[in-house]
């Protein structure tokens, strides 16, 4: 089923709660009444087409319309990605961490296993935070500057030189797979942490990890298959403009 703008927002969320995950990244609160997706988007100043692409991507893992997504501005995509980062760091990770911290043990082996899990999770958290910091401090600003540079046909010489040294393809090549470590984390819980005393809680943690994993996969897909190719395209256009002397240097 493809979600369209005429669907009632409430029905769409009842049909698939993942749509709510997308909505929270646009700072939209509940209380939709009978309003359609389009009405809610207009009211909240959200690009309806962009929202629908994301909602459908979350709804169906086979849905990913690269060409359509590539048509949106990098500014729009980056602000969505930054909002997603905020939710990972501010909500998802603390929620899981809190649950892990409340795991109980009644024998020495379980106690040791829980310590291993805590250490592993803390390592994962640091890795994810560093990944996010690097993107927000270096990569995204660079990509946004590319877009502005092309729009105004004006870039600074320093920026142009930097572009020749570090390009979007370097970012893609070094883009670490933050989902990989999550796989190990799930493995630890499934294989080594099923003490009956924590059975329910382990299931809740696992479920949250699976959801986070899926969310991060969609996030990386946007970065690698939309953001990077568009940035590479702009880099090539800027180089071409320079070779034709059609760009101003400031
Ligand atoms: Fe990211
Ligand atoms: Fe990333």
Half-sphere exposure of 67 (CA within 13 A, CB side): 0
Q: Which ligand is nearest to the CA of 85?
A: 1
Mean pLDDT for 166-171 is: 93
Range 228-234 average pLDDT: 97
Determine the distance separating the centroid of ligand 2 and the alpha carbon of 17, expressed in angstroms.
24
Mean pLDDT of the chain: 92
The second-level CATH assignment, the architecture, of 1-63 is: Orthogonal Bundle (1.10)
Query: Domain-by-domain residue ranges, the chain?
Result: 1-63, 73-249
Q: Report how far ligand 2's centroid is from the alpha carbon of 135 (Å).
A: 7
Reported pTM: 0.93
194: pLDDT strictly greater than 70: no
Ligand 1 centroid–CA 8 distance in Å is 30
What is the C-alpha separation between 74 and 12, in angstroms, rounded?
27
Q: Which ligand is nearest to the CA of 77?
A: 1
Taking the alpha carbons of 35, 37, 41, 42 in that order, is the dihedral positive or negative? Answer: negative
State the pLDDT confidence band at 106, using cuts at 50, 70 and 90.
confident
- Gap between the Cα atoms of 223 and 78, Å rounded: 9
pLDDT band at 212 (very low <50, low <70, confident <90, very high): very high
Residue list, CB under 5 A from ion ligand 1: 135
Q: Tell me the per-residue pLDDT of 117-165, one tens digit each, with 9 for 90 and over.
A: 899 999 999 999 999 999 999 999 999 999 999 999 999 999 999 999 9
């Amino acid at each position: 089923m493809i979600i369209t703008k005429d669907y009632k927002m409430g029905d769409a969320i009842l049909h698939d709660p993942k749509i709510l995950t997308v909505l929270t990244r646009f700072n939209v609160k509940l209380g939709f009444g009978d309003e359609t997706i389009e009405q809610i988007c207009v009211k909240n100043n959200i690009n309806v087409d962009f929202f629908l692409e994301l909602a459908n991507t979350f709804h169906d893992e086979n849905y990913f319309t690269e060409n359509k997504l590539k048509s949106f501005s990098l500014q729009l995509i980056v602000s969505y990605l930054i909002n997603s980062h905020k939710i990972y760091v501010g909500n998802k990770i603390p929620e899981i961490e809190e649950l892990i911290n409340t795991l109980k043990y009644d024998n020495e082996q379980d106690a040791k296993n829980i310590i291993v899990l805590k250490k592993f999770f803390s390592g994962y958290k640091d890795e994810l935070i560093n990944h996010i910091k690097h993107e927000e401090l270096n990569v995204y600003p660079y990509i946004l500057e590319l877009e502005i540079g092309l729009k105004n046909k004006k870039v600074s010489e320093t920026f142009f030189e930097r572009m020749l040294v570090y390009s979007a393809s370097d970012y893609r090549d070094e883009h670490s797979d933050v989902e990989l470590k999550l796989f190990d984390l799930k493995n630890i819980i499934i294989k080594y942490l099923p003490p009956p005393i924590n059975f329910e809680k382990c299931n809740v943690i696992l479920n949250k990890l699976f959801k986070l994993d899926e969310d991060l996969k969609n996030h990386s897909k946007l970065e690698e298959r939309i953001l990077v190719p568009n940035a590479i395209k702009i880099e090539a256009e800027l180089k071409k403009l320079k070779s034709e002397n059609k760009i101003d240097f400031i």
